[in-house]
Structure 1
Amino acid sequence: MEEDTINKKNIYNLNNLNNLTENNNNNNNNNNKVSYNVSDLLKKISSLIDTCDYQLALQFSKKALSLENDNLKVLEILGMIEIELEMFDEAREHFSKAISINPNNGYSKYMYMGQLSCGLEAISYFQNGVNLMISEYDNSSKTTTTTTNSSLQDLQDDESNESNESNKQNQLNRKISNALCIMTEIYLTDCCFEVDAEQKCEEYLNKALELDLLNPEVYQLLASVRLSQQRNDDAKIALEKSLDLWINLDPGHSSIPSYESRISLVKLLIELSQYTKALNVLEILQKENDEVFDLWYLYGLCYFLMGQDSQNEQDRLTHWEDARDCLINYEKLHHKIGSDDEGILQHTQELLQTINAHVKPSLTSDAEEDDGDDDANEVYDDDDDDDADADEWEDFNANQNNHYNDDHQMEM
């Protein structure tokens, strides 16, 4: 029962909110006071985002927007929530409105619009965001210089201020560097046939390195560019630099690239026949999350190619046995979760056919228990959700009214 009660609070009932708002308006007429304002709603939205309750956060955000439809913070938060809920058209609408209201300040809305766009349109949004970040960096540098010159009488405070500003500038540099990497990727993919594509890639990567020499993403992307230019030796050097920057860091370190980025790194390493390094990265990824399709496919492909390149027959068979185990894991995961990438599934099956033609199948049973029907038997009660949603809003409004009553008594 307790678990059911918790689950019931996950969906917001708009009808109940409208009823509460009408009551609020009636109270406004009597008291000339509102029970809650946009600031109160933003606090609630923030707490809901922290718990990943995006559906309920969406409805609170819509109510905040109805109170102040030109509030930039509300527009941006609403757009972020809509991206999480894959409501991309709605997100574009709200970020576009935020840009039209204040085009010259705040880079985040441009970065989100870049993610929601394609080709040269995406480049344009990212470039605007980068320009604003660079402007912010320049202003921050000037502020640091001014503070340093005016704080000579207190060296301790000066050093502390300088350190904090330096950290902020480094973080901003990393953001700019990452944005330039995204723009480079667009020219490697969507805009690869543009006349100046290669020139733009070099320009963006040089700027990214100028800002942040310790960003592994830049070197990884540089390797992609060098591969496209058939400069394989230079690509290997770039990947070596990228790996050196994070491979020995403790798990969870902020400088370690994302899981998806490291999957892309493995693909590059395999393409350059750097199989041992690819396996090292895959082992790290497996410890973080072993239910990723690409992980097992790339594991299997790597072992298969190692066997294919081996001059020793026994080594070849050993590598292909390992490849088969990994590819079978991919198939099991595919049957368990499902995947839209039929191309990888087909290639996996082709590799297994090749392996089985040369390596005796193992005696391990591949039987799997099917427990997927349990979820289908779950009952979902909308009425219960409506009750829970009303409770959520009643609690929120009660808290706001209590704050008002306390303040009113203090005034008396």
Structure 2
Amino acid sequence: EGKEYLLKSVGTWLPAQKQSTSSSSAEEDAQKVIPPYESRITTAKLLIECEEYEMAVDVLEGLLEEDDEVVQVWYLSGWVCYLQWEKAKEQQEAEGREVTGQEKEEWEALQEAARSYLTNAKKLYSKLRCDDKPMLEHTEQLLGELGGDMEPQEEDEALDDDYEPCSDEDENSDAEAPMEH
């Protein structure tokens, strides 16, 4: 019953989230319907728990498009890809048949996506000096099972270049500055 309500709830705002990421004109209308960022992270966790992996991926992709410097979102994205990969393997084994070429390609894509997301989570974890040790340990465990970290690419350096540390001081000084009319 809880799963039914969860899916119904997500069904009301997920289309608006997808639309707002594709067009800026719809963004204001979408903000009225779409729950806050943290609530959507919680929703993604619940979807993963209910094994609604595809919908969880959609929620997480929207979150990454909105803010790509949240370690937990990268971690959850990698985790859901890993779980999809595991589920596909288990299903094939339960059916007791040979793996098709298409399945093998899909599995490899899920593996690589999981490695990529988890590698980004680990890098961002270090860069932002996060303190969620269990998440880091699980990330490293999953990466170990997937074949290790992805090799660094040029785009990672670009992410480092545009990183600006945030502090409460900056926000407070902006808030105290008089507004011009």
Task: Bin the TM-score by the shorter chain.
Answer: 0.5 to 0.7
Aligned mates of 1:337, 1:362 — CA distance in 2: 19
Query: Corresponding residue for 1:290?
Result: 68
Aligned mates of 1:242, 1:363 — CA distance in 2: 39
Q: Greater Rg, structure 1 or structure 2? A: 1
1:255 aligns to 2:22 (yes or no):
no
Query: Corresponding residue for 1:237?
Result: 4
The correspondence for 2:78, drawn from 295, 300, 321, is: 300
CA drift of 1:327 comes to 0.4
Cα deviation, 1:156-197, whole Å, max 9, x if unaligned, reads: xxxxxxxxxxxxxxxxxxxxxxxxxxxxxxxxxxxxxxxxxx
Given residue 244 of structure 1, which amino acid in structure 2 is its aligned partner?
G
Query: Corresponding residue for 1:126?
Result: none
Aligned mates of 1:283, 1:270 — CA distance in 2: 14
Structure 2: state its 5+ residue gaps: 17-25, 93-102, 166-176
Aligned mates of 2:119, 2:104 — CA distance in 1: 22
Query: Corresponding residue for 2:114?
Result: 323
Given residue 27 of structure 2, which amino acid in structure 1 is its aligned partner?
P
Aligned mates of 1:363, 1:330 — CA distance in 2: 14
CA drift of 1:362 comes to 5.5
Structure 1: state its 5+ residue gaps: 1-233, 376-391, 393-412
Aligned mates of 2:138, 2:113 — CA distance in 1: 17
Cα distance change on mapping 1:315 and 1:271 into 2, 3 Å: same
If the length of structure 2 is used for normalisation, what is the TM-score? 0.67
Matches within 5 A, 1:400-411: none
Count of residues in correspondence between the two structures: 138
- Please say if residues 116 and 150 of structure 2, whose CA atoms lie closer than 8 Å, have aligned partners that are also in contact: no
Cα deviation, 1:293-325, whole Å, max 9, x if unaligned, reads: 111000000000001111333322220110000
Given residue 61 of structure 2, which amino acid in structure 1 is its aligned partner?
E
1:281 aligns to 2:59 (yes or no):
yes
- Secondary structure of residue in 2 paired with 1:248: helix
- Secondary structure of residue in 1 paired with 2:13: coil
Aligned mates of 1:237, 1:287 — CA distance in 2: 27
Matches within 5 A, 1:9-408: 234-249=1-16, 250-252=26-28, 253-310=31-88, 311=92, 312-356=103-147, 364-365=152-153
CA drift of 1:335 comes to 1.4
Cα deviation, 1:336-390, whole Å, max 9, x if unaligned, reads: 1111101000000000000007xxx75544885988xxx9xxxxxxxxxxxxxxx
If the length of structure 1 is used for normalisation, what is the TM-score? 0.31
Given residue 336 of structure 1, which amino acid in structure 2 is its aligned partner?
K
Aligned mates of 1:266, 1:320 — CA distance in 2: 20
Cα deviation, 1:226-245, whole Å, max 9, x if unaligned, reads: xxxxxxxx222111210122
- Secondary structure of residue in 2 paired with 1:267: helix
Aligned mates of 1:307, 1:241 — CA distance in 2: 26
CA drift of 1:251 comes to 3.1
Given residue 237 of structure 1, which amino acid in structure 2 is its aligned partner?
E
- Secondary structure of residue in 1 paired with 2:147: helix
Cα distance change on mapping 1:340 and 1:245 into 2, 3 Å: same
Cα distance change on mapping 1:329 and 1:246 into 2, 3 Å: same
Runs of 4+ in 1 over 4 A off after TM superposition: 361-371
- Secondary structure of residue in 2 paired with 1:247: helix
Cα distance change on mapping 1:363 and 1:247 into 2, 3 Å: closer
Cα deviation, 1:15-73, whole Å, max 9, x if unaligned, reads: xxxxxxxxxxxxxxxxxxxxxxxxxxxxxxxxxxxxxxxxxxxxxxxxxxxxxxxxxxx
CA drift of 1:256 comes to 1.2
- Please say if residues 75 and 121 of structure 2, whose CA atoms lie closer than 8 Å, have aligned partners that are also in contact: yes
